[in-house]
Amino acid sequence: MDKNSLIGITLMMGLLIGYFYFTQPSEAQLQEQKRVQDSIALVQNQKQIAQDTAINIIARTDTVKETPIVPVQKGNFGKNVGTEKFTKLQNDEYTIQFSSKGGRVASVQLNKYKRSDSSDLILFAPNQNKWDFEFITKDGIVVNTGRLDWKIDEQTENSISYILPYDTSSYIKQTYHLTKDSYLVNYNLSFINMNGKIAPNRSQIALHWDLDVPLQELAAEAERQKSTIYYKYIKDDPDFISETNYESEELEGKTEWVSFKQQFFNSTLIARDKPFAAESRIETIESEQDSIVKYYKSSLDLEYQQLASEQYNMSFYFGPNHVPTLKKVGLQLDHIIPLGWILFRAVNEYAIIPLFNFLRSFISNYGLVILLLTLIVKLILLPLTYKSYKSTAKMKVLKPEIDKIKEKHKGDAQKAQVETMSLYRSFGVSPMGGCLPMILQMPILLSIFFFFPSSIELRQESFLWAQDLSRYDSVLELGFSIPFYGDHVSLFTILMTIATFLYTYMNNQVSGATGQMKYIGYIMPVFFLGFFNNYASGLTYYYFLSNMITFTQQWGIRKFFVDDDKIRAKMESFKKTKGKSKKGPSNFQKKLEDIAKKRGIDPKTGKRK
């Protein structure tokens, strides 16, 4: 592999390594995680008891729970004692159970998706979430509405309202309205004539929303690495707690939405007219249970102005991490899907995803979709591939001359460099000609790297031996783990590695690489073998196809379009006709010549003056 190609690939490797290096937790963060784990041990034990029955509660219809609601508050709200009742509403996208305990969304089932074990996909069950408002009354009593019994005020086919009365004219009301053909639930919270009932010095109402996020995919650890809390400040881009960290974060500004994200799904609360106040808090807590991915906690402050009628319009989003769907919601909610940094995200949003969606609109087999996507991308990049190949071939023809220059100026690298650049100029060759086309291809190459593991379209889609293109394909379970490799054998990763070896071999033939440079390129495929073994099979399948198509393109270019003897003849002709023409050196060459002049070296002869 020639030096320019090596530089291009090394840049890609550096970006990948840098990404994973900077997202790894530090030693201090690991110690903090341990402290948090110890402090919440009691909470987790209590949660374990709750999990045994939580997942099945969704199957109930309007049933009555056996355990009565016992409020801990005193005063008027303390009179609201009752038995928890569930009410079910649904549209084509989801089925939601509402609970009289707290007047909350108790559970959500997505109708068009299944868990990895083919059971119903439940975003959360009644015992896996907490929803309440907390404030202090004028009598100094702390009220927690999640412990109280709310009465149904109104109910239709697609909406339900709960009311919590303080007295005959003062109450709190929650209204939920299901939207047609959408994953949104419109939500309204009203405090009616509560001014004077709530402590007059209180300017905020605390909204607590916590979730124990159940496992949806096959591997708990893999899903944990792609699950966290996202949030968005007003007039700012979305931000998040690192997937590898477990920490509490204070939201410093007013917040438009908070999203409890999993690998392929999310539960999001959106403040439509009044943002959540600054100093709200969010927290991710580690779970040691295989059935729970993470624990999410939030305390979102609602600004309260002591008016006779206080209204808060919000929305829930309960659904998939699907770019077009989230874009329709707006507010940059689609940024919870990690499509890469700004350049890579732009390539994905405006090129890769539209092309992918176009192809799958008339092709049901996702393996064929990826094949066609690869062919189209490689066809678009063919001019760059041709230019890179041709430049490398020119460098190969010049290599004997360059070797002579190096031998001639063995002890003076500056002279060798100046004379080499003069040789390049004489033959019309750019030393960046082979590297630049590769660099221009990097945004697409790395955009694909981010797209496939995040694409819900590939979830549970099989192709050949791969049962799920959104996760690794395994043709052999080892029963033990090999460091830097894993406990299974991914066949697509092996095929990708073989294809990379072929590509490297072809490049060495073109560039005429010798010595260490000839073998250095073979290190990269070995690195990729371990690196990609745990990645989505859709990604390694794409890279396998991409390498094979590039190999075929280069073979075709070499066979039918590029001939070393013809290149030498053209270059000799260029040297005679243009090598001494009016056209001056490039800016890069001028800089080198200026440096040489400052050091007392004639840039044309390479000799000291």
pLDDT at 409: 77
pLDDT at 163: 94
Can you say how many angstroms the Cα of residue 373 is from the centroid of all Cα atoms in its chain? Answer: 20
pLDDT at 181: 86
DSSP alpha helix (H) spans, 40-140 = 41-54
pLDDT at 46: 42
Residue-wise pLDDT for 17-41, tens only, equals: 444 444 444 444 444 444 544 544 4
C-alpha distances in Å from residue 299, one per residue of 148, 209, 248, 311, 577: 19, 7, 11, 19, 76
Token digits of residue 515: 């010595």
Residue 77 CB neighbours (<10 A): 20
pLDDT at 53: 35
Q: What is the mean pLDDT of the chain?
A: 81
Name the E strands within 171-227.
171-178, 184-192, 204-214
Contacts for 461-469 with beta carbons within 8 Å, 24 or more apart?
461/366, 463/365, 463/366, 463/367, 463/370, 463/537, 463/541, 464/367, 465/491, 466/492, 466/537, 466/538, 466/541, 468/116, 468/218, 468/537, 469/366, 469/367, 469/370, 469/536, 469/537, 469/538, 469/541
For residue 524, give the nearest of 547, 545, 541, 542 by alpha carbon.
547
Residue 174 neighbours by CB under 8 Å, 6+ apart: 103, 150, 161, 162, 163, 187, 188, 189, 190
Identify whether the C-beta of residue 333 lies closer than 8 Å to the C-beta of residue 257: yes
Angle at 93 between CA 469 and CA 295, to 5 degrees: 70
Helical (H) or strand (E) element with 106: strand 104-114
Residue-wise pLDDT for 327-382, tens only, equals: 999 999 999 999 988 889 999 999 999 999 999 999 999 999 999 999 999 898 88
Banded model confidence at residue 92, pLDDT cuts 50, 70, 90: very high
Say which residue, 561 or 124, is predicted with more confidence.
124
Q: Tell me the domains of the chain and their CATH numbers.
A: 3-14+351-576 (no CATH), 40-338 (2.70.98.90)
Identify whether the C-beta of residue 502 lies closer than 8 Å to the C-beta of residue 551: yes
pLDDT at 24: 45
Helical (H) or strand (E) element with 251: strand 248-251
Q: Please name the residue that has the structure tokens 């690869």.
A: 374
pLDDT at 475: 87
> How many angstroms separate the CA atoms of 330 and 429, rounded?
49
Q: Please name the residue that has the structure tokens 């959540």.
A: 276
What average pLDDT does the segment 176-202 reach? 92
pLDDT exceeds cutoff 70 at 581? no
> How many angstroms separate the CA atoms of 334 and 37, rounded?
31
Helical (H) or strand (E) element with 154: strand 151-155
Give residue 82's region: left, alpha or beta (phi > 0; psi -120 to 50).
beta
Residues found in the chain: 609
- Give bridge partners of residue 155 from the DSSP assignment: 160
pLDDT at 504: 81
